[in-house]
């Protein structure tokens, strides 16, 4: 079947819309599958999970009998150390060049003949002083095998004196240098600096023969030159002969031991291959370890080798069976945690962004576990898996119950990765639970660091208990405690850093954010206090009432308080249209039509939401701005419009919808509390001479009115909650409006009932006008609220719409 291209495009746009991505159930399934997939990938192979053991612990499984013969492999680090040691002991291979002595002597002969030639040319020139002899002499000097100063021949030779007979020079140098050169070359001169080969011997090969020569008995080229120079210096001191000998040696001396890289590499490879990989053998049906036997280094090598051979042979412990089991293992744990969120934390389950955050925290802990498995050292690295960090983040971002069940899920997963390590699971649950407990009512970011002591305490108790049960040595226990202490230090640091990241990246709002918003130095609250001081003090009163009521019913107290502070920020833009900010008798609404006044009053909701988003206020706080009014009617201006229409019919029909707040109705307990607090505070602050009985009657009547009006249908406030809210409001307001002494002539007579005028009073005080005088002198009496533990919506669902209207009219 062909679909129009527009329909396909609309479906794609709808699917990838932000709202759909936030709540789409398909995305929840995909997210869960990806979480299971990545967890399974990080799970170790079968041979790593069947048994969990460490040196010093006690084998708690049944007796282990070898089902087949297998070699006992060395520890990898031990094997690698032995290979490095074998390589170090390999002597570098050099080839001896037997022709070097002859080449060096021949080169010496050439140099001496050139020297004789220079001396003969000098003697001839000194004798004749002919220009041609001078030129010939200079040419001989410049063509000499090495640079030589002419002035050197003007100096007296130590042994030859002034005569410098060429024949004597030749014989004399030949007799001295040839034996020295032969001796040093026979000892051996390598063609590389000796510092490149730090060995005790070198292997010198000559044909098919190989000889090991101590390294300190041979020379490199610079050492050989220095040795000849020193010997020449001992004969001549600082004379012409010494200078000439030094230069001759530099010219004629050549290395006769040539480094052979290829043969050296072959020798190294042979040495590595000769290092044994195993240290023993276990026969089939041989006992590997008995139950309750303490694991030693030797037994651990047997267990490691047995596990390795089983993996290589695939003896029913790897392959598809293992992976199916791992998938089921991981899926059971994650699905159980997901069911908890679905049944008891729907606000988290319904929000895909929050589910992604939970998945990231789980994967973070699995990654830490995966790294601990990769590092092959005999230390309790499992105690560096920072489970308390995830527990504290879950507690701060969500609540302590989510943190507890999340900690259990994470502990079971990492214990499974570490070979079903029960001790790791128990200690992680202990430390994570205590860490979450310490931050459940966190009120400052630095308070996170007080969890350090409790996290360490959780690890300490569980480690000592399990180690004593397993008969661990004191050294093993202290090592575990040391690693647990490091965990207790790093977990709060990681929590502090990741909390900032999660708040910004996932746009989550924590109690810490609410605490910062409740600071009166917040720019928006300061602006509210400056531009709309009456609204600011009204908001403070609402915050106090809401916090007290939220505490009474177990709601989020700090959220209710902050919602009360910011619920009327829209009045910043037009503060003079609201009575609490008006100074003097002048009221701007007197010259406006009722519909325009209602429009201005209701616009503070839209303007408040826009201002809050512009200033970066979280959506959970912005929700209080429209929901604290719900869909109530601005009755004062609606009644005024009806009265004016009765006197003089208007051109347009008076419509009630023009005088309604846009809503929605309160969706949470906290927004419902702020709606009630706003109504109660608005009416109570306008009435004089309030007695406790009158105050209680007013509060109860107003709550009942909102309840019967249906404004509380969509939040989870029960009738029992409403009773507790009334008591909390009464306690706060009694402290403010306590009894005062009345002097003669100051009595105020109250005769009219408020029961039928609640809506008019609240509307008048919330609509920016003074309450009519006759309302101020009224008193009310209302029957007590029902206390059945039903939500408002559940109770009203048993009534017909006609009954509701009748109750409201009464």
Look at residue 751 in the predicted model and tell me its pLDDT.
Answer: 40
For residue 209, count other CB atoms closer than 10 A to its CB: 8
Q: Are 598 and 662 in contact (CB under 8 A)?
A: no
Look at residue 804 in the predicted model and tell me its pLDDT.
Answer: 35
pLDDT band at 579 (very low <50, low <70, confident <90, very high): confident
R_g of the chain, CA atoms, integer Å? 48
Q: 3-7, 134-138, 260-264, 404-408: which has the minimum mean pLDDT?
A: 3-7
Nearest to 599 by CA among 659, 532, 665, 662: 659
pLDDT band at 142 (very low <50, low <70, confident <90, very high): confident
Between 194 and 270, the higher pLDDT residue? 270
Q: 42-56, 257-271, 630-644, 648-662: which has the minimum mean pLDDT?
A: 42-56
Match 């609540």 to its residue by tokens.
399
User: What is the average pLDDT across 429-457?
Assistant: 89
pLDDT digits (tens, 9 = 90+) for 482-493: 999 999 999 999
pLDDT digits (tens, 9 = 90+) for 602-658: 889 999 999 999 998 999 999 999 999 999 988 888 888 888 878 877 777 778 788
DSSP 144-207: SSS---GGGGGSPBTTTBTT--HHHHHHHHHHHHHHHHHHHHHH-EESS-GGG---SEEEEEET
User: What is the average pLDDT across 778-805?
Assistant: 38
Look at residue 48 in the predicted model and tell me its pLDDT.
Answer: 47
User: What is the average pLDDT across 61-72?
Assistant: 83
In the chain, the N- to C-terminal Cα span, in Å, equals: 60
Q: What backbone phi and psi angles, to 5 degrees, belong to 259?
A: -65, 135
Neighbouring residues of 345: CB distance < 8 A, sequence distance ≥ 6: 398, 401, 402
pLDDT digits (tens, 9 = 90+) for 75-134: 888 889 999 999 888 889 998 888 888 888 888 788 777 777 777 777 777 778 888 877
Look at residue 795 in the predicted model and tell me its pLDDT.
Answer: 41
Dist. CA 799–CA 390, nearest whole Å: 47
pLDDT band at 200 (very low <50, low <70, confident <90, very high): confident
Q: 298-312, 410-424, 482-496, 528-542: which has the minimum mean pLDDT?
A: 298-312
Look at residue 78 in the predicted model and tell me its pLDDT.
Answer: 86
What are the angstrom distances between the C-alpha of 744 and each of 610, 750, 756, 779?
52, 16, 31, 21
Look at residue 319 in the predicted model and tell me its pLDDT.
Answer: 61
User: What is the average pLDDT across 517-536?
Assistant: 92
Q: What percent of the chain has pLDDT over 90?
A: 34
Dist. CA 493–CA 586, nearest whole Å: 58
What are the angstrom distances between the C-alpha of 194 and each of 43, 255, 256, 385?
50, 12, 14, 49
Q: 137-141, 363-367, 767-771, 797-801: which has the minimum mean pLDDT?
A: 797-801
Look at residue 7 in the predicted model and tell me its pLDDT.
Answer: 60
Look at residue 549 in the predicted model and tell me its pLDDT.
Answer: 95
Nearest to 566 by CA among 533, 540, 584, 593: 540
Between 235 and 283, the higher pLDDT residue? 283
With a cut of 90, say whether residue 498 has pLDDT above it. yes
With a cut of 80, say whether residue 747 has pLDDT above it. no
pLDDT band at 510 (very low <50, low <70, confident <90, very high): confident
Look at residue 19 in the predicted model and tell me its pLDDT.
Answer: 54
Q: 243-257, 277-291, 548-562: which has the minimum mean pLDDT?
A: 243-257
Q: What is the mean pLDDT of the chain?
A: 81
Of the ranges 149-158, 278-287, 637-646, which is most confident? Answer: 278-287
pLDDT digits (tens, 9 = 90+) for 205-226: 887 888 888 888 888 888 888 8
Dist. CA 80–CA 272, nearest whole Å: 10
pLDDT band at 306 (very low <50, low <70, confident <90, very high): confident
CA atoms within 13 A on the CB side of 299: 20
Of the ranges 195-199, 309-313, 767-771, which is most confident? Answer: 309-313
pLDDT band at 527 (very low <50, low <70, confident <90, very high): very high
Look at residue 802 in the predicted model and tell me its pLDDT.
Answer: 40
CA angle at residue 500 from 499 to 506, to 5 degrees?
Answer: 80
Q: Are 735 and 697 in contact (CB under 8 A)?
A: no
pLDDT digits (tens, 9 = 90+) for 558-570: 999 999 999 999 9
pLDDT band at 782 (very low <50, low <70, confident <90, very high): very low
Q: What percent of the chain has pLDDT over 70?
A: 81
Between 240 and 616, the higher pLDDT residue? 616
pLDDT digits (tens, 9 = 90+) for 343-378: 999 889 998 989 999 999 999 999 999 999 888 777
Dist. CA 670–CA 560, nearest whole Å: 5
Between 791 and 562, the higher pLDDT residue? 562
What are the angstrom distances between the C-alpha of 443 and each of 439, 486, 492, 552?
8, 25, 15, 19
Dist. CA 75–CA 314, nearest whole Å: 22
Conformation bin of residue 622: beta by default, left when phi > 0, alpha when psi is -120 to 50: alpha
Look at residue 559 in the predicted model and tell me its pLDDT.
Answer: 93
With a cut of 80, say whether residue 679 has pLDDT above it. yes
Neighbouring residues of 318: CB distance < 8 A, sequence distance ≥ 6: 45, 46, 47, 311
User: Which residues pair with residue 752 across a beta bridge?
Assistant: 778
Q: Are 410 and 356 in contact (CB under 8 A)?
A: no
pLDDT band at 494 (very low <50, low <70, confident <90, very high): very high
Match 């994470």 to its residue by tokens.
410
CA–chain centroid gap for 490, Å, is 11
Q: 188-192, 228-232, 517-521: which has the minimum mean pLDDT?
A: 228-232
pLDDT band at 669 (very low <50, low <70, confident <90, very high): very high
Q: 19-28, 235-244, 543-552: which has the minimum mean pLDDT?
A: 235-244
């Amino acid at each position: 079947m062909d679909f129009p291209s527009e329909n396909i495009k609309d479906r794609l746009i709808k699917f990838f819309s932000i709202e759909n991505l936030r709540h789409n159930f398909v995305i929840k399934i995909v997210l869960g599958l990806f979480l299971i997939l990545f967890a399974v990938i990080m799970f170790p192979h079968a041979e790593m999970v069947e048994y969990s053991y460490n040196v010093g612990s006690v084998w708690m499984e049944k007796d282990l009998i070898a089902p087949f013969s297998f070699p006992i492999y060395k520890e990898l680090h031990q094997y690698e150390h032995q290979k490095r040691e074998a390589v170090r002991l390999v002597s570098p291979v050099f080839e001896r060049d037997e022709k070097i002595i002859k080449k060096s002597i021949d080169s010496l002969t050439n140099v001496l003949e050139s020297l004789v030639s220079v001396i003969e040319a000098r003697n001839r020139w000194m004798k004749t002083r002919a220009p041609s002899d001078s030129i010939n002499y200079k040419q001989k000097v410049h063509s000499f095998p090495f640079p030589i100063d002419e002035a050197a021949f003007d100096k007296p030779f130590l042994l030859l004196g002034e005569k410098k007979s060429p024949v004597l020079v030749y014989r004399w140098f030949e007799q001295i240098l040839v034996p020295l050169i032969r001796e040093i070359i026979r000892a051996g001169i390598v063609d590389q600096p000796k510092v490149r080969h730090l060995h005790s011997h070198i292997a010198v090969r000559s044909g098919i023969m190989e000889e090991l020569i101590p390294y300190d008995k041979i020379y490199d080229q610079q050492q050989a030159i220095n040795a000849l120079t020193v010997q020449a210096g001992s004969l001549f001191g600082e004379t012409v002969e010494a200078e000439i000998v030094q230069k001759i040696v530099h010219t004629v001396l050549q290395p006769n031991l040539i480094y052979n890289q290829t043969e050296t590499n072959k020798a190294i490879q042979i040495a590595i291959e000769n290092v044994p990989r195993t240290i023993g053998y276990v026969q089939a049906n041989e006992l590997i370890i008995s139950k309750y036997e303490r694991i030693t280094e030797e037994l651990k090598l047997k267990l490691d080798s047995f596990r390795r051979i089983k993996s290589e042979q695939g003896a029913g412990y790897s392959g598809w069976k293992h992976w199916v089991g791992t998938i089921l293992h991981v899926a059971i744990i994650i699905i159980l945690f997901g069911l908890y969120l679905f049944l008891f934390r729907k606000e988290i389950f319904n929000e895909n962004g929050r589910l992604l955050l939970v998945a990231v925290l789980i994967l973070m802990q699995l990654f830490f576990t995966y790294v601990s498995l990769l590092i092959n050292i005999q230390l309790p690295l499992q105690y560096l898996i920072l489970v308390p960090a995830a527990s504290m983040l879950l507690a701060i971002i969500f609540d302590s119950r989510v943190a507890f069940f999340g900690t259990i899920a994470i502990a079971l997963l990492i214990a499974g990765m570490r070979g079903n390590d029960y001790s790791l699971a128990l200690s992680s649950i202990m430390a994570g639970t205590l860490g979450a407990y310490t931050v459940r009512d966190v009120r400052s970011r630095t308070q996170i660091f007080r969890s350090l002591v409790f996290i360490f305490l959780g690890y300490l108790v569980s480690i000592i208990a399990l180690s004593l049960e397993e008969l661990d040595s004191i050294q093993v226990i202290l090592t575990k405690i040391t690693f647990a202490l490091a965990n207790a230090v790093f977990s709060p640091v990681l929590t502090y850093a990741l909390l900032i990241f999660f708040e910004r990246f996932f746009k989550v709002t924590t109690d810490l954010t609410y605490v910062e918003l409740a600071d009166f130095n917040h720019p928006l609250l300061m602006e509210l206090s400056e531009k709309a001081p009456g609204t600011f003090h009204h908001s403070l009163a609402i915050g106090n009432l809401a916090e007290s009521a939220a505490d009474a019913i177990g709601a989020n107290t700090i959220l209710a308080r902050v919602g009360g502070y910011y619920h009327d920020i829209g009045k910043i833009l037009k503060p003079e249209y609201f009575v609490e900010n008006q100074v003097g008798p002048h009221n701007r609404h007197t010259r406006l039509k009722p519909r325009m006044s209602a429009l201005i009053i209701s616009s503070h909701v839209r303007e408040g939401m826009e201002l809050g988003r512009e200033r970066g206020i979280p959506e959970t706080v912005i929700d209080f701005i429209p929901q604290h009014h719900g869909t109530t009617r601005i009755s004062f201006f609606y009644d005024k419009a009806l009265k004016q229409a009765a006197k003089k019919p208007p051109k347009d029909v008076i419509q009630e919808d023009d005088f309604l707040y846009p809503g929605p109705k309160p969706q949470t307990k906290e927004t419902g509390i702020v709606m009630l607090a706003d109504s109660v505070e608005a009416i109570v602050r306008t009435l004089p001479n309030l007695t406790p009985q009158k105050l209680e009657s007013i509060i109860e009547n107003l709550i009942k009115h909102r309840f019967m009006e249906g404004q509380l249908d969509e939040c989870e406030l029960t009738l029992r909650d409403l009773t507790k809210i009334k008591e909390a409001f009464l306690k706060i307001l009694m402290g403010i409006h306590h009894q005062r002494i009345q002097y003669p002539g100051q009595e105020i007579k109250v005769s009219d009932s408020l029961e039928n005028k609640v809506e008019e009073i609240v509307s008048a005080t919330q609509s920016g006008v003074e309450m009519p005088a006759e309302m101020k002198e009224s008193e009310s009496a209302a029957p007590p609220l029902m206390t059945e533990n039903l939500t408002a919506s559940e109770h009203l669902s048993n009534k017909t719409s006609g009954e509701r209207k009748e109750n409201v009219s009464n």
